[in-house]
Amino acid sequence: MHPTELLRQARLKEYPLQPLQGGDMGQVWRAGPYVVKTHPCPPVGLFQAEARGLFALFQAGIRVPEVYWASNEGLVMEYLPPGEPDWEKLARMLAGLHRLRPPAYGWDDRVFLGRFELPSGTQSDWQSFWLEKRIQPILEATWNQLGPLGPRVEALFKEPLPQEGPALIHGDLWQGNVLHAQGGPALLDPSVWWGERAVDLAMMTLFGGFPAPFWKIYRVLYPIPTEIERALPRYQIYYLLVHVHFFGPSYLPMLMRTLGAAS
């Protein structure tokens, strides 16, 4: 759907459209005080899931853009003007998020990572949840692209993972989903569910990661045990499988290196 039509559906004033970056999984425009997200063929429920995730983060004390409209065709949100990075504020915000202790692993509503829908539902055992509800679905979707790496990934996740307990996680927390805005940082494009915080830490250390000033403060506020640090490459494989699924074999060398670090 054209973004102007989405604004009409939301009964909001129309503004000239300006394309924005960050549209790997769709198209993003600024329209005056609004940001409009659409996709030519979105999975059913994608934008509503994003809206629910943003609201869950907001309830947890995280700054996010306000959502004005969500439908199968797109999303209309608040435009937050860019500002200077505030790594201390971001570290405090994320340490607080990761210290929340929900009752189980998973999410009762629909969950997407990018456009890939993940199984919903909750359970108490992390090892079985992670393998059955997170790794196995994306592994099956990418199996034909993985070649000899597929059995190595499958075998790796049959080994137990260290645990800290359920936390509320953003679910796709790379630097591109942090908006350095006026008044402080905000989070975008969540894949919110209840999981081990190592899932977020893995993405936060992948693709260049967050800078040293952030980690200096975060580690003081919420120290990361050595066994969790060592397990992060295993969690990074989850994100690399999704990248192979959407963007193809160019991510296979990185997946192979990460498998080596995880073994």
pLDDT in tens, the chain (263 residues): 899 999 999 999 999 999 998 656 679 999 999 999 998 889 999 999 999 999 999 999 999 999 999 999 999 999 999 999 999 999 999 999 999 999 999 999 999 999 999 999 999 999 999 999 999 999 999 999 999 999 999 999 988 999 999 999 999 999 999 999 999 999 999 999 999 999 999 999 999 889 999 999 999 999 999 999 999 999 999 999 999 999 999 999 999 999 999 98
pLDDT value, residue 21: 81
Give which of 161, 185, 165 is closest to 103, Cα–Cα.
165
- For domain 3-78, say whether CATH 3.30.200.20 is its number: yes
pLDDT value, residue 110: 95
Q: What is the pLDDT of residues 216-231, one digit of tens each?
A: 999 999 999 999 999 9
Residues across the chain:
263
DSSP H helices, 99-177, are: 126-129, 136-146, 149-156
CA gap 259, 263 in Å, rounded = 6
Q: Report the run of H or E that residue 122 belongs to, with start and end.
A: strand 121-123
Q: End-to-end alpha-carbon separation of the chain, Å?
A: 45
What are the sequence ranges of the domains in the chain? 3-78, 87-262
DSSP H helices, the chain, are: 3-9, 46-59, 87-98, 126-129, 136-146, 149-156, 197-204, 212-221, 226-247, 252-262
Token duo for residue 15: 């503004």
* Active-site residue set: 172
CA gap 113, 59 in Å, rounded = 21
pTM for the model stands at 0.96
Give which of 262, 209, 205 is closest to 237, Cα–Cα.
262
Q: CATH homologous superfamily of domain 87-262?
A: Aminoglycoside phosphotransferase (APH), C-terminal lobe (3.90.1200.10)
Domains 3-78 and 87-262 share a fold: no
